[in-house]
Amino acid sequence: MRITLSVIKADVGSIDGHLKPSAELVKAVKEHIQQKGKELIIDFYLTTTGDDVALLLTHTQGKDSEKIHKLAWDAFLAGTKVARKQGLYGAGQDLLADSFSGNVKGLGPAVAELEFEERENEPFLLFAADKTDPGAYNLPLYLGFADPMYNSGLILSPKMSKGFKFTVIDVNCTTADRVIELNVPEDLYDLASLLRDNERYVIESISSRNTGEPAAAASTCRLRNIAGKYVGKDDPVMLIRVQGEFPAAGEVLAPYSIGHYVAGFMRGSHTGPLMPVTSRSATSFFDGPPLVSCLGFCVREGRLTEPVDCFDHPFWDYVREKVSRKSLELREQGFSGPAMLPYAELEYGGIVEKMKMLEPRFRLRKK
């Protein structure tokens, strides 16, 4: 059966600033999908990561379906209503447009979609991150799909012998989608040259070169480019099919043991290590550290199994301790140097005003 997996995520309000949505908000979003989605979707699952609510919807409407996107948008509006009623912080934060028009892309919510003919067994992973931007997935995707140091299947499985095709998008180009396709292993160094710059070049999708089948899709929207100012971090979602011609689930997960430094953290303006957490974790220390959760499912004729919470395992407790240490080490230097993001990333916030104010106070010293 040909199905589409859509994950659509938004922050429409949370308790105590940007820590976690309320149970009542989550209930309102869920009930909206249950009631209004009956005829449209086959199955769904709702999860939260930090202050973000992610909706996984299975259906046969294809990618970019207006009906599916509107269902999610309206569900987030229902959540926003509760957020206002409860006095939650940032009610409707990620709904940047006054009304829905055709597709949630460009309106604020993050979206990632995969459309495919179901295999005999169809396992996949749903990632959701908080307090970071889409570039956070660049390194783990590179290592999980293109590096035999992490993906042993590139050596051991004939089903992956030809490697993968990466589609990378230049998120700084706002007039149109500026994309490039690179094939690994041949283009490996070119891919690395782009992915070095996580704030500009972001992996949008990956497909198998053995079968042509879609393997991964990630959200790439940058809220600052939509709003023109800082309104919250992008907090990207991602779907990855695993096993067979794709990496094993464990190969995709392995790079998250690094706790690599990403952009985000407090006020979306700092550098912090990405901490793998269980789903529905709240955000905490310094509005972070940047978080990533992962749920594993199988799907059959659009029906989902219960999820496996992939980072809910003693191994990841050890990683979380390491990431906590890495967080503290960089936080010790506060605003200085690499602890805070470079000016180009900050210029969507209040610092522009400060710089303007200081400008006339500079003087050129006479020789």
Which residues are catalytically annotated? 11, 230, 233
Q: Which stretch binds Mg ion (CB under 5 A): 27-35, 52-60, 183-191, 216-224?
A: 52-60
Name the minimum Å distance from CB 299 to ligand 13P: 16
Q: Which does 115 bind (CB under 5 to 8 A by kind): Mg ion, ligand 13P, none?
A: none
> Which single residue is written with the structure tokens 């597709």?
103
Asked if 51 is part of the footprint of Mg ion (rule: CB under 5 A), the reply reads yes
Selected from 18, 59, 241, 270, the binder of Mg ion by CB under 5 A is 18
Specify the residue, 106 or 250, whose C-beta has the smaller distance to ligand 13P: 250
Asked if 267 is part of the footprint of Mg ion (rule: CB under 5 A), the reply reads no
Specify the residue, 60 or 152, whose C-beta has the smaller distance to ligand 13P: 152
Specify the residue, 41 or 239, whose C-beta has the smaller distance to ligand 13P: 239
Asked if 209 is part of the footprint of Mg ion (rule: CB under 5 A), the reply reads no
Name the minimum Å distance from CB 48 to ligand 13P: 11
- Interacting residues toward ligand 13P by CB under 6 A: 11, 18, 50-51, 90, 93, 130-131, 157, 232-233, 235, 243-244, 248, 250, 266-268, 287
* String of contacts with Mg ion for each residue 98-137, x by CB under 5 A: --------------------------------x-------
Specify the residue, 115 or 235, whose C-beta has the smaller distance to ligand 13P: 235
Q: Which does 266 bind (CB under 5 to 8 A by kind): ligand 13P, Mg ion, none?
A: ligand 13P
Asked if 90 is part of the footprint of Mg ion (rule: CB under 5 A), the reply reads yes
Q: Is 340 exposed, middle or buried (0-12, 13-18, 19+ CB in 10 A)?
A: buried
CA distances from 170 to 32, 134, 167, 203, 352 (A): 35, 11, 10, 9, 24
Name the minimum Å distance from CB 238 to ligand 13P: 17
Name the minimum Å distance from CB 162 to ligand 13P: 15
Position of minimal CB gap to ligand 13P: 232
Q: Is 185 exposed, middle or buried (0-12, 13-18, 19+ CB in 10 A)?
A: middle
Name the minimum Å distance from CB 293 to Mg ion: 12
- In the complex, the residues that contact Mg ion under the rule CB under 5 A are 11, 18, 50-52, 90, 130, 232, 235
